[in-house]
Amino acid sequence: MKGQIFLAVSLLIAIVLITAKLTATIPSDTAVSDIDDIYKNIKSELQKTAEITLLNQESLSENFDEFILFNKEIYEKRGYTLDITYLLGVGAASFDFYISDGENFIKDKFNINTRLYS
């Protein structure tokens, strides 16, 4: 009798654990969405950095460098690979952007206006 109860309880625990594992699987769409959100956030914040830097008459390259280094450190701690390079030109900064979580990635080139309009 004790053996039958043990087998029944063991089987019940195994079913619960298998069900929990199957329902806890994260779909890959979530990972793509996370990278997309990070990309949009960084791009938006780079634009804001340019605007604030121009209004305060500070160095664009120093502020971009600080922003990029800060984000690279933060996202690498979270397991992402982040690479952002830029080139300052007349009236615009050109960015090469790359982020990956090991399975998904985003690679893009975009420009940010660096002229102050009054």
pTM of the model: 0.70
30-47 pLDDT, tens digit each: 556 789 999 999 999 999
The beta-strand segments (E) located in the chain are: 81-88, 92-100, 105-113
* CA 5 centroid distance within chain: 50
At residue 6 the predicted structure's pLDDT band, cuts being 50, 70 and 90, is confident
Give the Cα separation of 2 and 55 in Å (integer): 79
Q: Give residue 31's pLDDT.
A: 57
pLDDT digits 0-9 by tens, 44-97: 999 999 999 999 999 999 999 999 999 999 999 999 999 999 999 988 999 999
